[in-house]
Amino acid sequence: MYLLKKIKMNKSKLLISAAMSVVFLSNSAFAADYPSRPISMIIPYGPGGATDISARTISEPLSKEVGKPLVMVNKAGAGGAIGSVAVQNAKADGYTMLFARVGTHTVNPAIKATLPYKLEDFRFVGIYEINPVACAVKADSDINSMEDLVARAKAKPGSVSYSSSGVGSLLQLAAAMVLKEFGLENPVKQATHLPMKGGGGAATAVLTGTATFVCTNSSALASFVKNKQLKPLLVTTAEPVAGFDAPTSKDLGKPNLEQLVGWTGVAGPDDLPDDIAASWGKWLGTATSNKEFKEKMEARGSVIRLMSPEESKEFINKQYNQFKALVDELGMRVEG
Amino acid sequence: MTLLENLAAGFELVANFESVFALAGGVLIGVIAGAIPGLSATMAVALTLPFTFAMQPITGILLLLGVYKGGIFGGSIPAILIKTPGTPASSATILDGHPMVKNGQAGKALGMALWASCTADLISNLALILCAGWLAAFALKFGPPEFFTLILFSLTIIAGVSGDSLLKGIVSALFGLILATIGLDLVYGTNRFTLNDPNLMGGLNFIAVLIGLFAIPEILAMVWNPKSNEGETQSLGKEWVTFAEYKRCFKSIVRGSFIGVFLGSIPGIGAAPSAFLSYSEARRKSPNKENFGKGEIEGVAASESGNNGVAGATLIPLLALGIPGDVITAVIIGAFMVHNLQPGPMMFLNSPDIIYGLFMGLIISSVFLFLIGSVAIRAFRYVADIPRGILFPAVMVLCVYGCYAVNNNIFDVGVMFAMGWLGYVMLCKGIPAAPFLIAFILGPLLEDNFRQSMLMSGGSGEILVRGPITWFFWTLTIITIVAIIRSGLGKKKAEAVEHGNQE
């Protein structure tokens, strides 16, 4: 085991030094003919998940723009950390890129102290989709609004529970944030967090009555809402979400909640050269305006919104700082 | 409309060239993908998904279902022939399937796997069509406390797959439980035994453990003692499975199918525990009990019916409630969504034609599975004839490649070899590998559901006996444990008597 680790360490050292020398020697030399070979696109979650499907859907119009094949590589595990680390340690030559997601790059860094990477280790070349977040209870529940929910949590601490797809997931943070916004002083103490394995389990827990409510991407709840199995209480965007008969953050006068959205973007290691980032910005622009791509994504409930590399960085940092402040205030940080 | 009228309308939707072609193509893709270790049924379905976007909804979904069913069966081919399960679901098939190959009955084992799979598939589909509503309502009653008791009961399987010594079985299970604790803690999110290596944060990769535990020790044993099997040719066995054998195993197949249907309709369990449960039940009830683990055809029949019985039943929560029961059905839900269909109770009202079309398609898929499976095993069984000097290195390459392909992570290959050595030591000491695997699968489920129950109740143990389902499984668990102790004591007594007689 020790030997294995040592070999691995040497390898990563080698990689880093190789990456550095390449950057020093020819920062702009290969940009002219970039890309000259297939590009590995790391998906930090398993096949079939929301990130995987989103990534594979955009890869179609994107690879036409890039002109070289995009090789989709699933590197799942540890809530996306394994795939993210692989890109963090990769050469900054633009041939290893990451599909980054709200979970891997804002929620996880905000909650987990022991994460093997930081937000600054990555350079974002664009965000291409936004997923509104919705909160819902079981359809036959007597809770009809966020006020009802918070009133119950206050009246009987511990009687309200929320399910999530695990510690450090958007679902956990979203539920705590929403409760806090609606006046529950200490959501971590006054409500119970029920971590499930995976996002599907989280919605199911509300259906079976195991948890009181769940806050997650609207697309994950859409079919339950349409089938009248779940009752939406709010959506976090300012605009209404199709199929969700629930007040928006604007209707409720909670502008802070607008930051609470999921997203998917593309990132490389932090020392990715400018011209490569610029090329990606351009490619993503053309790919996201593809009509077929738009239709497919919108059918699954996501909102196509392209951000330039600069906008992406600003958006993500803002979300990260807000999440981090909340985590610190509520004492949700995982240290061990 | 009556059920029959609905089915007729559904048949109309399916009775066209595209749908039939999609089903057949799907089953073929699935069988081939399932037969390649490391290319699991999940991956095959996920990779096929983008191709369905441009198709008619029903055609696309049938294609995916074909891949799913084919993949679950396909996994049993390498499990039997080279002791390397193509999918986790077929790991129980190894227990008797591979010994049969060693006895020169490769054709027979593969044939029985196919017959049992198709029978279970059919029963599972019928359960879906006839009692989807009832089973879905049942599944919704399963919260963490119910899960906990179900899994506690399932852990008694360990006694059924321990071989001669229960003690050795428990030692093996303990190894599995300990290694399953590696990774992130579910409730606190803290690292457990990760040695600060991000690779260990996700826990040990299941496929790597599986391949390492079963396939690698075989190869190591061969390297250690290359001449042990000299002179002994693995005759492939022109022997085909007979109808009499099928009839003999029929009861086990039906039992396995129903176990599969029940476990499949409850989201979150999966095909591997179902296969093991079916196997251990078959062993408990069989007159050939002693022969299990040494190449008993009924064992193959039981485990294959257990895992294929799940395939149709996972569609029950999917169609009736809109809940994906496992990763594969989560991908299939994606295909529904792209076509703007929302699976759930309303779909039965809004688009019954599609639902009943799917039902008809599923019935037809069982037939295709039989036809394509027959061709596939005729092609694959010659693997058993390959000389060991060529076969084993090839298997080794396949294992490394398959293990890497799951997550594109070289660390997993390291895990596979480490597990291989552990497996080899266990093999030498006569410690069975199956209990290890069962504990490795069920241990984390048991822990998670226990802790979720405790969170729900605020730490009170009463929640674990909160309803009839929990009482039912507690009773079953107690009965089984008593039976195990009694048979253990009986055995000792018999041995003592025998011993006395000898003296």
C-alpha A304/C-alpha A288 separation (Å) is: 7
What is the pLDDT averaged over residues B167-189? 90
Are the beta carbons of B368 and A254 closer than 8 angstroms? no
Cβ neighbours of B344 in A, within 8 Å: 223-224, 226-227, 229
Chain B: nearest CA to A295, how far in angstroms?
9
Cβ neighbors of A19 (< 8 A, separation 6 or more) are A90, A91, A92, A93, A269, A271
Mean pLDDT of A182-192: 90
Provide, as residue numbers in chain B, all residues whose Cβ is less than 8 Å from the Cβ of A203: 323
CA–CA distance, B78 with B100 (Å, rounded to integer): 13
What are the distances in angstroms from CA B26 to CA B64, B120, B262? 6, 19, 25
Q: How high is the pLDDT of residue B238?
A: 64
User: A205-244: per-residue pLDDT in tens?
Assistant: 999 999 999 999 988 888 889 889 999 999 999 989 888 9
Q: Write the residue in A60, A224, A301 that is nearest to B322 by C-beta.
A: A224
Contact A299 B45 (CB under 8 A): no
- Kind of pairing, strands A230-235 and A161-164? unpaired
Region of residue B36 (phi > 0: left; psi between -120 and 50: alpha; otherwise: beta): beta
Closest-CA residue of B relative to A6 is B197
Provide mean pLDDT across the span B447-461.
Answer: 92
Does residue B495 lie in a domain region? Answer: yes
Residues of A with Cβ-Cβ distance to B268 under 8 angstroms: 197, 201, 204
Residues from chain B contacting residue A53 (CB–CB below 8 Å) = 49, 331, 334
A170: nearest Cα among A121, A104, A243, A223 = A104
On whether both B356 and B497 belong to a single domain, the answer is: no
Q: Within this chain, do residues B237 and B313 fall inside the same structural domain, yes or no?
A: yes
Minimal CA separation from B437 to chain A, in Å: 20
B322/A336 Cβ within 8 A: no
**At residue A249, does pLDDT exceed 70?**
yes
- Select the residue of B186, B198, B338 nearest A81 (Cβ to Cβ): B198
**Phi, psi at A247, each rounded to 5°:** -65, 150
User: What local confidence, expressed as pLDDT, does residue A28 receive?
Assistant: 44
For residues B429 and A331, give the distance between their C-alpha atoms in angstroms, rounded to a whole number.
Answer: 50
Best residue in A62, A114, A117, A298 to probe B by mutation, most B CBs within 10 Å? A114
Sort out which chain B residues have CB atoms less than 8 A from A112's CB and list them.
189
Q: What proportions of chain B, in percent to the nearest 5, are helix, strand and coil?
A: 80, 0, 20
Instruction: Determine which of A241-245, B4-8, B498-502 has the lowest per-residue pLDDT on average.
Output: B498-502
Q: Chain-wide mean pLDDT for chain B?
A: 87
In this structure, is residue B437 part of a structural domain? no
Contact A158 B458 (CB under 8 A): yes
Examine the domain organization and report whether B288 and B417 are in the same domain: yes
- Is pLDDT at B75 greater than 80 in this prediction? yes
Q: Which CATH architecture has domain A36-131+261-330?
A: 3-Layer(aba) Sandwich (3.40)
- Do both B354 and B496 map to the same domain? no
The answer on pLDDT for B186 being more than 90 is no
Residue of B nearest to A301 (CA): B337
What pLDDT sits at residue B420?
Answer: 94
- The percent of residues in chain B predicted with pLDDT above 70, rounded, is 96
Q: Do A78 and B198 touch (CB under 8 A)?
A: yes
Looking at the domain assignment, is residue B488 inside a domain? yes
Residue A22: what pLDDT? 45
Interface test with A, best of B87, B190, B200, B207 (most A CBs within 10 A): B190
The beta-carbon neighbor of B198 closest among A85, A195, A335 is A85
Which residues in chain A are contacts of B331 at CB distance < 8 A? Answer: 47-48, 53
Does the distance separating the beta carbons of A204 and B407 come in below 8 Å? no
Looking at domain A132-259, its CATH class is alpha beta
Asked if B409's CB is within 8 angstroms of A82's CB, the reply is yes
Find tokens 């089953």 and name the residue. B27
Residue B1 pLDDT > 70: no
Of B248, B309, B312, B256, the C-alpha closest to B279 is: B256
pTM: 0.85
For residue B455, the chain A residues in CB contact (below 8 A) are 161, 192-194
Q: Establish if B105 belongs to a structural domain.
A: yes
> Sign of torsion, CA B192 B198 B200 B204?
positive
Whether residue B446 contacts residue B477, with contact meaning beta carbons closer than 8 Å, is answered with no
Chain A residues in contact with B142 by the CB 8 A cut-off are: 208
Indicate yes or no: CB of A48 within 8 angstroms of CB of B267. Answer: no
Task: For CA atoms A313, A314, A316, A322, give the dihedral sign.
Answer: positive
Please give the residue that has the higher pLDDT: either B50 or A333: A333
Q: Are A146 and A252 in contact (CB under 8 A)?
A: yes
Same fold, A36-131+261-330 and A132-259: yes
Residues of B in contact with A116 (CB under 8 A): 198, 201
B187:A296 CB<8 A: no
Alpha carbons A74 and A83: distance in angstroms, whole number: 8
d(CA A30, CA A40): 17
* Binary contact (A52, B188; C-beta < 8 A): no
Q: pLDDT for B314-350, tens place per residue?
A: 999 888 888 887 878 888 887 887 787 888 888 888 8
The whole-number pLDDT of residue A6 equals 45
Q: Cβ distance B109 to B100 under 8 Å?
A: yes
Of A73, A81, A296, the CB nearest to B53: A296
Nearest-by-CA chain A residue for B346:
A227
**Which one of A40, A42, A82 makes the best mutation probe of the B interface by having the most chain B beta carbons within 10 Å?**
A82
pLDDT at A26: 44
Instruction: For B253-297, write each residue's pLDDT tens digit.
Output: 999 999 999 999 988 788 889 999 999 889 888 888 888 888 899
pLDDT category of residue A300 using cuts at 50, 70 and 90: confident
Considering only residues B14 and B229, tell me which one the structure prediction assigns the higher pLDDT.
Answer: B14
Residue B84 lies in a domain: yes
Say whether pLDDT at A176 is over 90.
yes
Q: Between these two residues, B437 and A14, which has the higher pLDDT value?
A: B437
Looking at the complex, report in whole angstroms how far the Cα of residue A9 sits from the nearest Cα belonging to chain B.
Answer: 11
Write out chain A residues lying below 8 Å of B50, CB-based. 56-57, 60
What's the mean pLDDT in B450-477?
A: 93
Size of interface A-B (CB pairs under 8 A): 165
Q: What is the mean pLDDT of residues B492-501?
A: 71
Residue B11 lies in a domain: yes
Which chain A residue is nearest to residue B407, measuring alpha carbons?
A75
Query: Do B340 and A299 lie within an 8 Å CB cutoff?
Result: yes
What is the tens place of the pLDDT at every residue in A55-81? 988 998 999 989 888 988 888 877 888
User: What's the ipTM?
Assistant: 0.82
pLDDT-derived band of residue B501, with 50, 70 and 90 as boundaries? low
Summary count for chain B: helices (H), strands (E)? 23, 2
**Do residue B395 and residue B499 come from a single domain?**
no
Number of domains into which chain B is organized? 2
Q: Give the chain A residue nearest B193 (alpha carbons).
A: A336
Domain end: B392, B425, B458, which one? Answer: B425
The C-alpha of B498 sits at a distance from chain A's nearest C-alpha, in angstroms, of 48
Mean pLDDT, residues A292-304 taken together: 85
Nearest to A299 among B45, B331, B338 (CB): B338
What pLDDT score was predicted for residue A21? 46
Contact: B333, A223; criterion CB under 8 Å: yes
Q: Which residues of B touch A209 (CB under 8 A)?
A: 143
Average pLDDT over residues A281-298: 90
User: Domain range holding B503?
Assistant: 467-503
d(CA B442, CA B88) in angstroms, rounded, equals 13
Are residues B214 and B287 located together in one domain of the fold?
A: yes
B334·A222 Cβ contact <8 A: no
- Residue B236 is predicted with a pLDDT of 56
A107 secondary structure, DSSP code: I
Give A253 to chain B, closest Cα distance, Å: 31
User: What pLDDT is attached to residue B303?
Assistant: 95
Residue of B nearest to A299 (CA): B338
What SS3 state is found at A267? strand
Q: Are B219 and B396 in contact (CB under 8 A)?
A: yes
Q: CB–CB of A4 and B414 under 8 A?
A: yes
B163 CA: distance to closest CA in chain A (Å): 31
In which band, very low, low, confident or very high, does the pLDDT at B408 lie, cut at 50, 70 and 90? confident
Residue B370: inside a domain: yes
The model's confidence at residue A3, banded by pLDDT at 50, 70 and 90, is: very low
Average pLDDT over residues A247-273: 93
Q: Which of A99-103, B140-144, B239-243 has the lowest mean pLDDT?
A: B239-243
- The whole-angstrom distance between residue B436's C-alpha and the CA centroid of its chain comes to 15
Closest by Cβ to B344, choosing from A49, A195, A227: A227
Rounded to whole angstroms, the Cα distance separating B414 from B410 reads: 7
A299 with B140: Cβ contact below 8 A: no
- B419 and B472 housed in the same domain: no
The fraction of chain A above a pLDDT of 90, given in percent, is: 54
Domains of chain A: which residue ranges?
Answer: 36-131+261-330, 132-259
Q: Which long-range contacts (CB under 8 A, 24 or more apart) does B395-400 make?
A: B395/B82, B395/B84, B395/B215, B395/B219, B396/B219, B398/B36, B398/B37, B398/B38, B398/B78, B398/B82, B398/B84, B399/B37, B399/B84, B399/B211, B399/B215, B399/B216
Selected residue of A165, A196, A210 to mutate for chain B interface (largest B Cβ count, 10 A): A210
- For residue B2, name the pLDDT band (cuts at 50, 70, 90): confident
- Examine residue B93 and state whether it is found in any structural domain, yes or no: yes
Where b means 16+ CB within 10 Å and e means fewer, A154-190 reads: eeeeeebbbbbbbbbbbbbbbbbbbbbbbebeebbeb
Q: How confident is the model at residue A135 (pLDDT cuts 50, 70, 90)?
A: very high
Judging contacts by C-beta atoms under 8 Å, the chain A residues touching residue B140 are: 207-208
Residue A315: the pLDDT is 94
Q: How far is CA B413 from the centre of its chain?
A: 22
> Which pLDDT band, with edges at 50, 70 and 90, does B404 fall under?
confident
Q: With beta carbons under 8 A apart, name residues in chain A contacting B334.
A: 48, 53, 300
